[in-house]
Amino acid sequence: MNTGSAAAILLTIIGALISRPLPGPRAATEGEPFGAFAARLARVADSAGRSREVDALVSRVRQSGTVLAQDSSVTLLYRGSARHVFVAGEPNGWEPATDEMKRLPGTDLFHLSWNLDPAARFEYKLVVDSAWILDPLNPLRASGPFGENSEVRMPRYRFPRETIPRVDIAHGSIDTTSFTGTRLLHRSAVFVYLPAGYRSGTERYPVLYVTDGREYLTRAKMNVVMDNLIAQREITPLIAVFIDPGTDPSDVRTGTRMTDYALNDDFVGDLSVGLRPVLMKTYRMLDGPRNTGILGASMGGLIATYAALTHPEVFGLCAAQSPSYQWKNDTLITMIRSAPGRSFRMYLCTGTIRDAERRARIVRDIMREKGYAITYREYPESHNWMNWRARLGDILRTFWGRR
């Protein structure tokens, strides 16, 4: 084995270990609900005894690596000297002064309980005397565009195993290139995922275009998911084209995502009649709407739906995750309502913790009424990359699953 191969395998093993899911939260007090602990603590007369009980509770929480969660109830804890401690997170819309922790009398332990779906996952921070911090008692972390948050996985949450890198399978490769549109005239990074075996064969493959491409690769680990599902023969091999939002040619630090994805005909045109023909000459891609999909989340989900709606002859498959259908007073919803229908296959999913569920349900109902082939999913999560990452396997199986 050469040095480069050994290093690659070592990095993959390290990545697998880092990506290994921590256990979901469980009761850290061996089944004792927090209310029972608080009631028992109230019967302890001396401060030293109360302190020992709190020490024991905090120690058990640290050892278990979890917050206190039982069925549909979760209790967050903070121990320390503070005047006010709040919890800001997805369940309360990140409001820093809505849910204040209460201090257990005679202790320095603060607590707050929420009732949630037993399969939920959510992100949060503590606000301790106006300072936003990660939860010191909770080692689970979720990374997003704005940094890390503390994470809670309720007892029935199931981690997406297909997102964990494997060393015992063949991996696809990624070509890096760029594209400058003829309409928008800005440059976008493009990453082309080629399935294992592509370079040694002659077969042609279906293709999926992915908006916010770098994010789907780095945060959602989509190449890992594709490697795993292809190796497990759960999906047919396919090519994925990951497209970054453009940069303003006058200032390369300025991204054009919010204009590119805002129902922008120039972006869709650059993608469908500009980039796509170039890639089809370079790679062995199957043509036709049945073999061409587009995927996006949030604003990316908005433009993905718009692209399929306006160019169904190109994009016959569309997946939208937590799409921003509220954009410009529900303009796209109005367009879908007036469109003839049945023009492309749709996969639509959303979280139910302050996510896009209200408008997603409206679009679901319209599309069903118009006869679209639509797959619709809801999950007790919120508007974040960990939610979208966990849905990739279902999206890929829906469009390219082996039967």
Query: Domain containing 26 — which CATH number?
Result: 2.60.40.10
Is residue 130 located within the same domain as residue 203?
A: no
Is position 79 within any domain? yes
The candidate with the shortest Cα–Cα distance to 106, out of 158, 152, 54, is 54
DSSP string, 147-209: EEEEEEE-TT----GGGS--SSS---EEEEEEEE-SSS--EEEEEEEE-TTSTT----B-EEE
Among 108, 126, 158, which residue terminates a domain? 158
Angle of helix 222-231 relative to helix 385-400, nearest 10 degrees?
30
pLDDT tens-digit map of 243-281? 998 765 555 556 899 999 999 999 999 999 999 999 999
Report the C-alpha gap between 296 and 37 in whole angstroms: 46
Same domain membership, residue 365 and residue 240 = yes
Q: Is the pLDDT of residue 6 over 60?
A: no
Q: What share of the chain is helix, strand, coil (3-state, %, to 5)?
A: 35, 25, 35
The verdict on 81 and 223 lying in the same domain is no
pTM of the model: 0.89
Mean pLDDT of 124-150: 94
What rounded mean pLDDT belongs to the chain?
A: 90
Residues 180 and 315 in one domain: yes
Asked, for residue 16, whether it belongs to a domain, the answer is: no
Q: Which domain holds residue 169?
A: 162-400
Does the pLDDT of residue 352 top 80, yes or no? yes
CA atoms within 13 A on the CB side of 89: 28
Residues 128 and 230 grouped into a single domain: no
Map residue 112 onto helix, strand or coil: strand
Look at residues 158, 182, 216 and tell me which one is the last residue of a structural domain: 158
Residues 147 and 288 in one domain: no
111 and 170 within one domain: no
The partner residues of 88 in beta bridges, in order of sequence, read 125
Residues 75 and 178 in one domain: no
**Which pLDDT score, from 0 to 100, does residue 251 have?**
52
What is the rounded average pLDDT of the residues 86-111?
A: 96
pLDDT tens for 286-303 read 999 999 999 999 999 999
For residue 348, the tally of other CB atoms under 10 A from its CB is 25
Predicted confidence band of residue 61 (pLDDT cuts 50, 70, 90):
confident
Q: Is residue 373 part of a domain?
A: yes
233 in the same domain as 90: no
Mean pLDDT across the stretch 118-137? 96
Cα-based distances in Å from 166 to 4, 15, 249:
18, 9, 40
Of 112, 135, 158, the domain-final residue = 158
Count of structural domains, the chain: 2
Q: What is the pLDDT of residue 10?
A: 35
Whole-angstrom CA distances from 198 to 99, 186, 191 are 53, 30, 15
